[in-house]
Structure formats: structure tokens, C-alpha cells
Amino acid sequence: MRDILINGLESLNISYTDKMVEDVDALYEMLSERNKSVNLTRIIDKEEYYTKHILDSLLIVKTYDPDGKKILDVGTGAGFPGLPLKIFFPDINIVLLDSVNKKLLFIQDVIDELGLKGATVVHGRAEDLGHDTEYRERFDAVVSRAVADMSVLSEYCIPFSRVGGSFISYKAYDSDSEIDASCNSVRILSGSLPVITGAVIPGTDIERKLVRVDKISETDPRYPRSPKQISKDPLL
Ligand code: SAM
């Protein structure tokens, strides 16, 4: 079974140690156990865990080199893509953000159990923390998977990126119209034209689009707006 993971890592040119692979398996055990009491994931099959959680999270290497960077994972849920990034790129400094505290309690347990240094959790909504000077424009990269459509997600994420940094979102292969519709909102938020990279999750035939937006200048302090305004009147 581990071959799926190992072959996937090799096809993505990601170097690994035995300890990293053991950490991936330990995370699976913790996720399966906690999932009995807290709704963390629908993926319970180990092969699917390797492909749809671990290797999918690592697809970022197709568009961005995370090594040594300060990264924020917005809407991390049970820790994806943030935890796999931290396991395989131990030199990154990662902050895992979510509005649901019980998910973060799980992630904190994982951080403690695996002894991950340079990984912290933060509880709150992206729309609020995006105005907090501790987080606003402080990150080399902001990543997010399965949280909101591209236009809304841009308003959540771009304010956290430093000028010259990047926002990378994991989208489904058929998300072209959603990406096209977000170009104006990305521009309003001071992001570049999106760079779209197609990729297949190793060991599967699942195609992905990784969308990278680079931050050109500071984001107008009006953004992000309140959750109510964002949902009522998305930037288009
Ligand atoms: N990124 C994870 C993954 O791909 O497995 C979790 C995806 S889950 C479908 C969406 C997560 O985003 C949930 O944990 C939810 O609490 C969080 N979320 C949604 N909107 C948010 C917001 N505005 N601020 C912070 N977290 C948010």
C-alpha cells in the first residue's frame, strides 16, 4: 500500500525520509480515530488518504516551491494541504487557520504527537483575521483547498500575502469558468492574472487545476469585507 505514496512522491520529485512516511501513517491513524467523534473527513480508505489527501496536497510543487517559506493554510479543516506540506518540507513555517475550533484541536494534537516545529493553529474567520496586523500581508504564500469559489476565496486569501508573495488555490479540473469570473476580483485585491497549472494526482486519473496569483501591491484596507457583504455582493 505504501508504494502508492512512495511512487507518488518520486513522481513529484519530493525527497522523503522513513520518518516522514511514518508521520503520514501516524496522521492516518489519528485522523481515523478522531473521525469517530468529530466530523473531519469523508476519506477513510487508506489508499484514498494517500492520494486524495497527501499527494493532492503536495501537488503545489507543480507551481510553487514551498521550501523554507512562511505559509498560511486558509480553511485547513483536518489539516489539508497544510500538514502534508509541513511533513515533507520541514523547513517551512506554517499557520493553519480555520473557523471551527474542534478541527484545530485535532491539528494541535497532531503537531504535538509528531513533534512538528514551526506549525501553529489559529482560530477565526479569514475575513476577520485578514485585518489583524499579525497576519495581514505577512505570508510568502497563502494556500487553500475546497473552501469557497475563486472570487470569494481571493478576498479571504490575498490580503494575507505579502507583496511579492503568492496565493495558490487547489481547484477541480473543470473550474475554468469560475477562474475566469474571478479575474476582476483578483485585480481589485492587487493580485496578478492567475497562472493555471493542470496536474494529475499520482496513482489516480484525477485532474486538478492549481491556480497561482502573485501579489503585486498592497491590498486596499477595505478588503476583506464582512462575511455578509462578501456573500451578498461578491467582487466580480
Ligand atoms: N482544506 C481542507 C481540505 O481540503 O480537506 C478542508 C476543506 S472543508 C470543505 C472547508 C473548511 O474551511 C472547513 O473546515 C471550514 O470550517 C473552513 N472555512 C470555511 N470558511 C471559512 C472562513 N471564512 N474562515 C475560516 N475558515 C473557513
For 174-194, the pLDDT digits (tens) are: 999 999 999 999 999 999 999
| Any ligand 1 atom below 6 A from CB of 126 | yes
Q: In terms of Cα–Cα distance, which of 87, 119, 140, 107 is closest to 38? A: 107
pLDDT tens digits along 152-173: 999 999 999 999 999 999 999 9
pLDDT value at position 233?
A: 87
Whole-number Å distance, alpha carbon 122 to ligand 1 midpoint, is 13
How far apart (Å, rounded) are the C-alpha atoms in residues 157 and 152?
Answer: 9
- pLDDT, one tens digit per residue, over 214-227 is 999 999 999 999 99
How far is ligand 1, taken at its centre, from the CA of residue 155, in Å? 14
Closest ligand 1 atom to the C-alpha of 144? 1
Report CA(18)–ligand 1 centroid distance (Å). 30
* Secondary structure of residue 163 in the 3-state scheme: strand
pLDDT of residue 234: 82
pLDDT, position 34? 96
pLDDT tens per residue, range 90-133: 999 999 999 999 999 999 999 999 999 999 999 999 999 999 99
- What are the boundaries of each domain within the chain? 2-232
pLDDT of residue 90: 98
Q: Where are the alpha helices (DSSP H) in the chain?
A: 2-11, 18-34, 46-48, 56-58, 82-88, 101-114, 126-129, 150-157, 176-181, 183-188, 227-232
Tell me: pLDDT of 236 over 80.
no
The three grid cell numbers given for residue 221, joined into one nine-digit string: 484596507
Tell me the pairing of strands 207-214 and 161-172: antiparallel
Q: What gap in Å lies between CA 188 and CA 116, rounded to an integer?
A: 37
Q: How confident is residue 235, by pLDDT bands cut at 50, 70 and 90?
A: confident
Distance, in Å, from the CA atom of 217 to the CA atom of 1, rounded to the nearest integer, reads 46
pLDDT, tens digit, for every residue of 3-53?
999 999 999 999 999 999 999 999 999 999 999 999 999 988 999 999 999
Alpha-carbon dihedral sign for residues 67, 40, 101, 75? positive
* Ligand 1 atom at minimal distance to the Cα of residue 156: 23
**54 has a pLDDT exceeding 80:** yes
Q: Is the CB of 208 under 6 A from ligand 1?
A: no
**Cβ of 38 below 6 Å from ligand 1:** no
* Range 2-232 has CATH code 3.40.50.150: yes
Query: What global pTM score does this model have?
Result: 0.98
